[in-house]
Amino acid sequence: MDNVTHTLVGLTLARTRLGRGGRGTTIALVLASNAPDIDIVTIAGGAANYLRWHRGPTHGPLGIVFLGLITAALVTVWHRWFDRRPDAPFASYGRLAFICIIGVLIHVLMDLPTSYGTRPLSPFSWHWYAEDWMPIVDIYLLAILGVCLYFGRGSARARQQNVKIALTLMLLDYGVRGVSHHEAIALAPRVFGPTLPARCAGAPSPYFPLESWPRPAPVNLAAGRRCLVDLAATPDAISPFSWRLIAQTSNSYETYTVDLIDPRYREAPRENEVLWRRAVRYPNVWTAPVFAAAAAPITHLFLGFSRFPLVRTSIAPDGSATVRWSDMRFANGRGTPPGLGPVGAGRGADRGIAASAGSLFGATDTVDANGHVVEELFGR
């Protein structure tokens, strides 16, 4: 989630029982609700360094406890040195530490249902986990929290009532998106039709509660048979009923945007229905230069982050190859993954313009004719 949402959640929590332990609890909850994103300081070492640590240990079990204790200590020191008002008792360090740990934990839990994901077990495990229910910025959460905080500025009774309303509407928002996500996944066989192959042996179920990556390659890939590696539905930033289906096969990606409000999807399939003809296909073929590029340090880092890595290769007259990587999760609204430019993708080709250089969601390698990586660029 974005930091504005995290801040509003912290302010909302301060109007619950967590904020009734004395002065300092509100600022403690706001700081704790944003504390895990302190990992942004790693960008001083470059974008690749930031990606290596982003949503890593600060979002793991040790980070939750450590950041909670540090935040509580900072608020306590601030009180002792600068806040000497005698009008109300200041919260004890023990109470501040408890509510700060809760605030940090809620931050991590709110990052988990986004398609971006987080690494909640780091540094013990560096796997990413996600549940594709929420966009990074959910305008409905922002509206719910902002409006309820505004109208709850009056009496203690008004604050309590508005907190209950806010938490109820938040749960409703998550519930609607969760149900819609399930319904979108259920439509995949219908909209992809004959282009959707059988699942690879060892491929994850699209209905498993949490997505996790990177994961080992399914065994079918070694046999060279086309099969379904993974299937996902990523959320729309505006409508909770619009979902972008991504089907990863052993040699391509198929994408299709469904709107669950559309009456076509609520009716029984018609005879000779050909919805699959509107799907956009992106070839994703791994050649010898691609395997060489994948082993390079920066690209290896990117592939650890990328849930749906897409590769495109161009061969120069001297035999060298340029290998460009992107993540299908972050394709723009017209279908083009960042960093690849206009794509000829089979059905529905030439879908838009590439994202600008500097994006975290891509990498470029130059591989010479002998299969050696001679240049790596991150974020292009």
Calpha distance 134→40 (Å, rounded): 22
Per DSSP, the residues of 106-148 read: HHHHHHTTBSS-B-TTTTT---EEE-TTB-SS-HHHHHHHHHH
* Contact (Cβ atoms closer than 8 angstroms) between residue 55 and residue 117: yes
pLDDT reported for residue 160: 85
Q: Phi and psi of 321, rounded to 5°?
A: -130, 140
pLDDT reported for residue 358: 40
**Tokens 């009456």 — which residue?**
263
- Taking each helix axis from N to C terminus, what angle separates 139-151 and 3-13, rounded to the nearest 10 degrees? 40
Calpha distance 345→253 (Å, rounded): 9
Question: Burial, 339: exposed, middle or buried (Cβ in 10 Å; 0-12, 13-18, 19+)?
Answer: buried
- Taking each helix axis from N to C terminus, what angle separates 93-111 and 3-13, rounded to the nearest 10 degrees? 140
**Tokens, residue 239:** 């409508």
Q: Phi and psi of 157, rounded to 5°?
A: -65, -45
Tell whether the torsion through CA atoms of 304, 306, 308 and 313 is positive or negative: negative
pLDDT reported for residue 353: 25
* Contact (Cβ atoms closer than 8 angstroms) between residue 242 and residue 255: no
- Taking each helix axis from N to C terminus, what angle separates 139-151 and 156-186, rounded to the nearest 10 degrees? 170
* Contact (Cβ atoms closer than 8 angstroms) between residue 327 and residue 307: yes
pTM over 0.85: yes
**Tokens 């000497």 — which residue?**
84
SS3 193: helix
Calpha distance 265→61 (Å, rounded): 42
pLDDT reported for residue 86: 63
Please report which residue ranges of 38-132 form alpha helices under DSSP H.
Answer: 47-53, 61-82, 93-111
Helix (H) or strand (E) holding 203: none
pLDDT reported for residue 259: 95
Q: Phi and psi of 324, rounded to 5°?
A: -110, 135
**Residue 3 to residues 34, 36, 138, 359, Cα–Cα distance (Å):** 6, 10, 12, 19
Beta 280-283 vs 252-259: how paired, if at all? antiparallel
Spell out the long-range contacts of 354-360 with Cβ–Cβ below 8 A and sequence spacing 24 or more: 355/330, 358/47, 359/330, 360/47, 360/50, 360/51
Which parts of the chain have pLDDT scores under 50?
333-358
Edge-to-edge, what's the strand order for the sheet holding 362-367? 309-315, 321-327, 362-367, 373-378
Q: Which of 249, 219, 258 is nearest to 231 (CA)?
A: 249
pLDDT, tens digit, 9 for 90 and up, residues 327-349: 999 865 444 444 444 333 343 33
